[in-house]
């Protein structure tokens, strides 16, 4: 049985969960939530298995796979199912990997920077840090809006779905995508309607108030 170490509120954990749910791949969830002392062994495993103690981590027998994108690549190769996680066409696959990098490096990275500014500031963040991250987030939105005007995404659920869904879900809480970016807004809505994604949204709901210091909006 596959094991996935992660947290139900974590965007990167969602990346792996969406791939697993979409293909109906059986797995055991190893929760790292710090509120429950019973998770101490799971936390200790993550601390050792990843160079920066980050999750998700997939364990398949004697194999340990770290980094969400690598987990999806591993699942596509070893546990294929109805969801085409990595497009069969090599050029489409290269494009899916490129867009995955955009969501990780320029969307969710800036969301994380805002969240970290709140945590480090004890609820009163460094405004220049928040402003800089929001500016970069808006630049990523605008780039994606233009890109979506001339490109087609691979069919859902792919690597792109797995990274775009949590990234856009949380990013909109930090900075509204807004009506001026209709393609990106439509993509967010389309992603949230997918069963694999809505399951992640619902399972994360109980953590909203405690684990999103900028304040979770009363929607979604
Ligand atoms: N590059 C990693 C990033 C994973 C990541 O940042 N995970 C966050 C949760 S969303 C985490 O482990 N945070 C806890 C920590 O940094 O100690 C990946 O793609 O899997």
**pLDDT score of 155 more than 90:** no
- The beta strands (E) that lie in the chain are given as 2-6, 27-31, 57-60, 63-66
Q: What's the rounded Cα separation, in Å, for the pair 86 and 161?
A: 11
- Strand-pairing partners, residue 2, are 27
Query: Average pLDDT, stretch 111-121?
Result: 97
Cβ of 12 closer than 6 Å to ligand 1, yes or no, is: yes
The reported pLDDT for the residue numbered 20 is 98
Say what the pLDDT of residue 123 is: 85
Using a pLDDT cut of 90, give the percent of the chain over it.
Answer: 97
Question: Does ligand 1 have an atom closer than 6 angstroms to the CB of 101?
Answer: no
Q: Are 64 and 50 in contact (CB under 8 A)?
A: no
The protein residue with its alpha carbon nearest to ligand 1, atom 12, reads 54
What gap in Å lies between CA 101 and CA 106, rounded to an integer?
8
The angle, 0 to 180 degrees and rounded to 10, between the axes of the packed helices 90-102 and 159-174 is: 20
Ligand 1 binding pocket includes 144 (Cβ within 6 Å): no
- Pocket lining: 53 vs ligand 1, CB cutoff 6 Å: yes
pTM of the model: 0.97
Nearest to 171 by CA among 104, 121, 120: 104
DSSP 157: S
- For the CA of 53, the closest atom of ligand 1 is 17
Q: Point out which residues pair with 6 in neighbouring strands.
A: 31
Q: State whether the beta carbon of 67 lies less than 6 angstroms from ligand 1.
A: yes
Nearest to 75 by CA among 59, 95, 53: 59
Per residue in 18-29, pLDDT (tens digit) is 999 999 999 999
CA 7 to ligand 1 center in whole angstroms: 10
């Amino acid at each position: 049985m596959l094991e996935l170490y992660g947290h139900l509120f974590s965007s990167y954990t969602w990346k792996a969960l969406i791939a697993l749910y979409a293909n109906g791949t059986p797995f055991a969830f190893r929760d790292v939530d710090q509120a429950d002392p019973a998770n101490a062994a799971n936390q200790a495993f993550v601390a050792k298995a990843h160079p920066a103690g980050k999750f998700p981590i997939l364990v398949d027998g004697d194999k340990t796979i770290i980094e969400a994108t690598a987990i999806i690549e591993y699942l596509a190769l070893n546990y294929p199912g109805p969801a085409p996680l990595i497009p069969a066409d090599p050029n489409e696959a290269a494009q899916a990997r490129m867009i995955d990098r955009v969501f990780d490096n320029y969307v969710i990275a800036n969301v994380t920077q805002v969240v970290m500014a709140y945590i480090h500031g004890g609820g009163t963040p460094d405004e220049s840090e928040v402003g800089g991250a929001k500016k970069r987030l808006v630049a990523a939105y605008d780039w994606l809006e233009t890109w979506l005007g001339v490109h087609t995404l691979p069919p859902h659920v792919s690597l792109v779905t797995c990274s775009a869904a949590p990234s856009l879900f949380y990013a909109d809480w930090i900075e509204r995508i807004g009506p001026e970016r209709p393609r990106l807004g439509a993509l967010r809505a389309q992603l949230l309607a997918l069963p694999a994604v809505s399951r992640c949204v619902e399972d994360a709901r109980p953590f909203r108030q405690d684990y999103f210091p900028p304040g979770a909006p009363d929607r979604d």
